[in-house]
Amino acid sequence: MVQPSFSHPRKAKVDSEGTSPTAALDAFLDTQHQSYFEELYRSEAVCLCILRLLPPVCRHIILHILWSHNPLRTIELKAFLQIDQTERNESLNEIVRPMLDRKILGSAHYQKNKTGWPLNEAFKRGLRNALTGLGTSNSFGVPYEPTPSDLSPSVDDLIHHGETTWESILKYMVSSGLAGGLAAVRPRQQVLQLLHASGLMADPTDLSGRNPNYDRLTITSKGFQFLLEDRQTQLWQILMFYLNLREANEGRSAEILSLFFSLGCMQLGQGYSASQSFPRTQSTLEDLEQYGFIHRRPRNADGRKSDQFFPTHLATGLCSGDEGGGIATAGTTGSAGTAGSVVLAKEAGEEKRFLILETNYKIYAYTSNELEIAILNLFVDIRIRYPNLVVGKLDRQNVKAAMEKGISAHQIISYLSSHAHSQMYNSPPPLLHPTIVDQLHLWDKERNRLKAEETVMFEFFSKELFDDTEAEARRYDGVQLALPEQKLLFVTPSIKDGIRDFVVGQQRQLRGA
């Protein structure tokens, strides 16, 4: 059994709007019931990955009580976190909330005036086995026994395969939204079906969305937003789209999600046996090959697919929290392999940071990557192109054109920040000049100068009745607009019935008088 690597726990990365790279996964898990998690926690790899994806304080708490037979008590938790025992439990409940959401801790129970949270037995057993190597589920993969004639790809080959395959899909998406200039290879039919079902691409001639022509798919507003996300967020979104599609067709998704977590615990450069590692999810493994998550040799002479597969950095980094796609998790058992993974991670980080933005809105992009240039072209006026340098400018026309396609100011700012060249960090903070950030937000707000609100209009013939009704509506803070000269009153729909009854009552009083 291949032992998992524990040297790369998930980094707690949250952007300014509070989203994380695993937001799509979190949203899916938040809707699942206890029985779903019980099935997931049969896999040691799932338990380890869920632990990695928790906030650091939750990880420390779990590892602190993992070998205990007693529930986690409030008094012990406060002592562990160095919280005053007399303090109310609201802050404590917020700390344990992620563990409650993942059904790692059971509901609080009270015994002898003491509150405790029991640790899920299935999760406890799975995590213990993961840490001690005693598991029997093969969830960390079964190594493939190569023959002398088998040629294993190098780590560089696997990274190149994963990058090329994934970027070919993104190139196809962005090329459908550009007038031309970007050559893209058409993905396989299954990939196009997923892109259409997820709403990232659509057939403009198919208004119903039920009979698309996959040769006419173009990128949607949702697709443009997807392009500007960081790599880790993109990967989890695609996997969740795939999972939801399979669940809608087959009704079972726990085994597929377990496979994703298993891949996230595997080692880059190690070959695994597909039939022994995932005997019941072979079709999913073949589908993931089309996105660059795994690499398999071409079919054998008898036409059968090779049983050996190699996870790429896209797969091994799923649970690492690394936004670069997981190259930093390319750990191997030897010291040389670990050193090599550090070098790969450093090089990947340097290649990712290629943008320099000046206060005059000029952008210098030190890249020759066609995909990166095409994404920049969505909101930047590119004026000069050299073999390894692109010069452009952020201007109102191009930025607003991008916003019309669904890209927000925050996404542009986030993209510029996450790809900022290391030289920009030498200047005093903030990383992006406030003038540029404010201008992007102003351009975004220009599109929304008018705000549409649902309203109910009352027209009156009597000035006295108008004044009385307006006063009544203001009591409920429901007046949207009052026009005394025209005797028109606009109120929120929520108080419509009350105002109507008030008007009817006033009219009856006037008639009686």
CATH number for position 90: 1.10.10.10
Q: Is the peptide bond before 212 cis (omega within 30 degrees of 0)?
A: no
Highest mean pLDDT among 201-215, 340-354, 388-402: 388-402
Q: Are residues 342 and 362 in the same domain?
A: no
Closest CA to 28 of 248, 202, 315: 248
Q: How far apart are CA 337 and CA 85, in angstroms?
A: 47
Pick from 342-351, 419-428, 490-499: least confident: 342-351
| Residue where one domain finishes, among candidates 100, 132, 164 | 132
Position 98 in a domain: yes
- Categorize the per-residue pLDDT at 324 as very low, low, confident or very high, splitting at 50, 70 and 90: very low
Average pLDDT over the chain, rounded to an integer: 85
Q: What value does the mean pLDDT take over residues 484-497?
A: 92
- pTM of this structure: 0.78
Position 503 in a domain: yes
pLDDT beyond 80 at 182: no
Q: Are residues 234 and 159 in the same domain?
A: yes
Position 360 in a domain: yes
Domain assignment of residue 465, given as a range: 456-512
CA 207 from chain centre, in angstroms, equals 28
- Categorize the per-residue pLDDT at 4 as very low, low, confident or very high, splitting at 50, 70 and 90: very low
How many structural domains comprise the chain?
4
| Residue where one domain finishes, among candidates 311, 328, 347 | 347
Position 451 in a domain: no
pLDDT beyond 70 at 118: yes
Residue 242 amino acid letter:
Y
Q: Tens of pLDDT along 225-247?
A: 999 999 999 999 999 999 999 98
Q: How far apart are CA 266 and CA 168, in angstroms?
A: 24
- CB–CB of 344/335 below 8 Å? no
Q: Are residues 496 and 364 in the same domain?
A: no
Q: What value does the mean pLDDT take over residues 355-383?
A: 94
Q: Are residues 318 and 340 in the same domain?
A: yes
Position 426 in a domain: yes
What's the pLDDT at 329? 34
pLDDT beyond 80 at 213: yes
CA 200 from chain centre, in angstroms, equals 14
Q: What value does the mean pLDDT take over residues 154-162?
A: 94
Q: Are residues 337 and 228 in the same domain?
A: yes
- Categorize the per-residue pLDDT at 476 as very low, low, confident or very high, splitting at 50, 70 and 90: confident
pLDDT beyond 80 at 61: yes
Tokens of 298: 């071409």
CA atoms within 13 A on the CB side of 312: 25
Q: Are residues 206 and 343 in the same domain?
A: yes
